[in-house]
């Protein structure tokens, strides 16, 4: 079939297998261009490995550190003539490239929150790797079935304590409007923390320790976001921010456990705002990202997921010295985003934005390009008029 983008609000319901493969190759080429890291991890488990920051972590481990990887993700294959999700195609392209380079790469597609997938992962590590020395926890999910209670928790993106009104953009239509979001109730706050907080990360590390498949001295990292004041009501101080506070709590608790296990470590890296499937669903944030991209591109400081994670590995995690923490024990690779000159400019531009000046005051075009690229569209060298087989079996 000929596969074209079909954008519905903040999702694209199609994905292009060859385009996704080209996108993977771009990321591999970038990591290779930066050279091999001498002190990198050798056996890596990535939970949330098929898109966004988790995928970039897997690519950096494999092609920047010559690591063997086990990837966990939740993706849908092609069915009834519908293309698969991009993470499905990404994983196949990544795995083929990793194996061609002589690296081990194994995949488990299923619910990472479940006991069963944890068990499968442990069995795979035991059988093929022995132990892992890095665990990247990079899930972004709208819901979690709790493995002990069976309760389905749904996360929401709402302010806490008060109603929030601000500008937002329909990135597909290019229309700027005002959005008002009512505050979350206690149950919604608790549910969001159950999904995006630290409990499942702790369950993973506890299960790995218990099964003795975590190497002494191993590292585990998870990702968070802080961002500018304009988004605090919906992000940092909203339901997702409270869940991230719980992730920070888990990082401290896990760090103590891992310190006692061969002097390992657990920490949070605060990353830059980027177009991913997870971030495009958040109100207000895509408008901020469109402004940010313009300012950072003009300064030559713009980075994508792969540049962010390669830098995290090269300058923080595996540069042979200790991690640089902020006052809350977090690594900050959002440093270039948070630079005062950038943020002051955001503050100036924000009140001026209208539907009419959106294309000139922001990089909405760049936002859309990046968004489509996540689904394998707009890649150079791909013939998008050509017939392509959407059904590709997992490898
Ligand atoms: P993403 O949507 O690109 O990736 C999510 C990953 O989780 C995918 O691999 C998906 O298959 C997997 N996943 C989701 N539910 C699953 C389940 N039940 N079982 C197994 N796998 C599942 O998201 P993104 O943006 O890369 O987010 C990863 C982390 O980075 C999140 O913690 C997010 O808060 C954080 N972050 C994101 C930023 C952004 O601007 N996108 C900025 C800073 C941090
Ligand atoms: Na990810």
Which position among 30, 137, 223, 235 bears the catalytic label? Answer: 235
pLDDT at 146 over 90: yes
Mutate to test the pocket of ligand 1, among 147, 276, 373, 375 (most ligand atoms within 8 A of CB): 276
Structure tokens given for 35: 């050279």
- Residue 392 confidence (pLDDT): 97
Write the residue with the smallest CA distance to atom 18 of ligand 1: 111
What is the C-alpha radius of gyration for the chain, rounded to an integer number of angstroms? 20
Nearest Cα to 349, choosing from 276, 292, 284? 292
Write the residue with the smallest CA distance to atom 24 of ligand 1: 52
Q: Is the CB of 95 under 6 A from ligand 1?
A: no
Length of the chain counted residue by residue:
395
The helix-helix angle for 239-259 and 199-210 (nearest 10°) equals 20
Nearest Cα to 139, choosing from 194, 69, 62, 59? 194
pLDDT tens figures, 121-131: 999 999 999 99
- Residue 81 confidence (pLDDT): 86
- Residue 277 confidence (pLDDT): 87
| Distant-in-sequence, close-in-space partners of 187: CB < 8 Å, separation ≥ 6 | none
pLDDT tens figures, 334-348: 999 999 999 999 999
Backbone angles phi, psi at 345, to 5 degrees: -65, -40
Q: What is the pLDDT of the chain when averaged over all its residues? A: 97
Beta strands (DSSP E) in 210-315 are 214-224, 265-270
pLDDT at 278 over 90: no
Tell me the average pLDDT across 268-282: 93
Q: Is the CB of 122 under 6 A from ligand 1?
A: no
pLDDT band at 228 (very low <50, low <70, confident <90, very high): very high
- Residue 380 confidence (pLDDT): 97
- State the pairing for strand pair 164-170/152-154: unpaired
**Distance (Å) from CA 293 to ligand 2 centroid:** 20
**Distance (Å) from CA 189 to ligand 2 centroid:** 23
Tell me the average pLDDT across 224-241: 95
**Distance (Å) from CA 352 to ligand 2 centroid:** 33
Distance CA 28, CA 33 (A): 9
Q: Is the CB of 274 under 6 A from ligand 1?
A: yes
Distance CA 366, CA 368 (A): 5
| In the block, residue with structure tokens 């061969």 | 262
- Residue 315 confidence (pLDDT): 97
- Verify whether residue 223 is a known catalytic residue: no
Distances from the Cα of 95 to the Cα of 18, 49, 59, 61, 140, angstroms: 14, 11, 10, 13, 22
| Distant-in-sequence, close-in-space partners of 16: CB < 8 Å, separation ≥ 6 | 3, 83, 89, 375, 376, 377, 379, 382, 384, 388
Q: Is the CB of 286 under 6 A from ligand 1?
A: no
Task: Label residue 227 left, alpha or beta by phi (over 0 means left) and psi (-120 to 50 means alpha).
Answer: left
Tell me the average pLDDT across 141-163: 97
pLDDT band at 285 (very low <50, low <70, confident <90, very high): very high
Structure tokens given for 361: 């005051």
Nearest Cα to 46, choosing from 220, 269, 275? 220
Question: Which structural domains are found in the chain, ordered by start?
Answer: 7-373 (3.40.50.720)
- pTM, two decimals, is 0.98
Binding positions for NAD(+) are: 48-53, 74-75, 111-112, 139-140, 244, 274-276
**What's the burial of 232, exposed, middle or buried (CB within 10 Å: 0-12/13-18/19+)?**
middle
pLDDT at 9 over 90: no
**What's the burial of 159, exposed, middle or buried (CB within 10 Å: 0-12/13-18/19+)?**
buried
Q: Is the CB of 75 under 6 A from ligand 1?
A: yes
Q: Is the CB of 71 under 6 A from ligand 1?
A: no
- Residue 340 confidence (pLDDT): 97
Helices (H), 135-280: 186-196, 199-210, 239-259
Q: Is the CB of 141 under 6 A from ligand 1?
A: yes
Binding positions are: 48-53, 74-75, 111-112, 139-140, 225, 244, 274-276
Write the residue with the smallest CA distance to atom 31 of ligand 1: 140
Distance CA 180, CA 158 (A): 10
**Distance (Å) from CA 196 to ligand 2 centroid:** 13
**Distance (Å) from CA 138 to ligand 2 centroid:** 5
- For residues 38 and 64, the answer to whether their CB atoms sit within 8 Å is no
Proportion of the chain above pLDDT 70, given as a percent: 100
- Residue 394 confidence (pLDDT): 97
Tell me the average pLDDT across 254-282: 95
Q: Is the CB of 52 under 6 A from ligand 1?
A: yes
| In the block, residue with structure tokens 């997992």 | 394
pLDDT tens figures, 55-107: 999 999 999 999 999 999 999 999 998 999 999 999 999 999 999 999 999 99
pLDDT band at 5 (very low <50, low <70, confident <90, very high): very high
| In the block, residue with structure tokens 């209670």 | 149
ipTM, 2 decimals? 0.98
pLDDT tens figures, 167-216: 999 999 999 999 999 999 999 999 999 999 999 999 999 999 999 999 99
The helix-helix angle for 52-65 and 17-33 (nearest 10°) equals 50
In this structure, which ligand is nearest to the CA of 374? 1
Distance CA 177, CA 3 (A): 31
How is the beta sheet containing 265-270 ordered, strand by strand?
Answer: 105-109, 68-73, 43-47, 132-137, 214-224, 265-270, 330-332
Structure tokens given for 326: 């902020």
Q: How many CB atoms lie within 10 A of CB 329?
A: 13
Task: Label residue 381 left, alpha or beta by phi (over 0 means left) and psi (-120 to 50 means alpha).
Answer: left
């Amino acid at each position: 079939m000929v596969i074209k983008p079909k954008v519905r609000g903040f999702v694209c319901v199609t994905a292009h297998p060859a385009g996704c493969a080209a996108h993977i190759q771009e990321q591999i080429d970038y990591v290779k261009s930066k050279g091999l890291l001498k002190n990198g991890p050798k056996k890596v488990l990535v939970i949330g490995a098929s898109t966004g920051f988790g995928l970039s972590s897997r690519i950096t481990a494999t092609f920047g550190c010559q690591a063997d990887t086990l990837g966990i993700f939740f993706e849908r294959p092609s069915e009834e003539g519908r293309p698969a999700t991009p993470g499905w195609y990404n994983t196949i392209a990544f795995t083929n490239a990793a194996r061609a380079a002589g690296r081990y790469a194994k995949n488990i597609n299923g619910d990472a929150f479940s006991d069963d997938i944890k068990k499968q992962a442990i069995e795979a590590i035991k059988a093929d790797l022995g132990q892992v020395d890095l665990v990247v926890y990079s899930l972004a999910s709208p819901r979690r079935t709790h493995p002990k209670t069976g309760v389905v928790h749904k996360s929401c993106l709402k302010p806490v304590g008060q109603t929030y009104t601000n500008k937002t953009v329909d990135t597909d239509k290019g229309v700027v409007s005002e959005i008002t979001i009512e505050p979350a109730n206690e149950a919604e706050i608790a549910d969001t923390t159950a999904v995006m907080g630290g409990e499942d990360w702790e369950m993973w590390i506890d299960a790995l320790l218990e099964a003795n498949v975590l190497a002494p001295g191993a590292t585990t990292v998870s990702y968070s976001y802080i961002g500018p004041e304009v988004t605090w009501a919906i992000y940092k101080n909203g339901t997702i921010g409270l869940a991230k506070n719980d992730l920070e709590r888990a990082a401290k608790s896990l760090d103590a456990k891992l310190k006692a296990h061969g002097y390992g470590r657990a920490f949070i890296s605060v990353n830059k705002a980027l177009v991913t499937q997870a971030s495009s669903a958040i109100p207000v944030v895509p408008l901020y990202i469109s402004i940010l991209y313009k300012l950072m591109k003009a300064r030559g400081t713009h980075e994508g997921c792969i540049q962010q994670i390669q830098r995290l590995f090269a300058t923080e995690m595996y540069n042979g010295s200790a991690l640089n923490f902020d006052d809350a024990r977090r690594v900050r690779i959002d440093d270039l985003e948070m630079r005062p000159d950038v943020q002051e400019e955001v503050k100036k531009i924000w009140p001026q934005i209208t539907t009419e000046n959106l294309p000139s005051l922001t990089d909405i075009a760049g936002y859309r390009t990046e968004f489509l690229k996540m689904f394998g569209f707009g890649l150079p060298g791909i013939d998008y008029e050509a017939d392509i087989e959407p059904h590709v079996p997992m490898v």
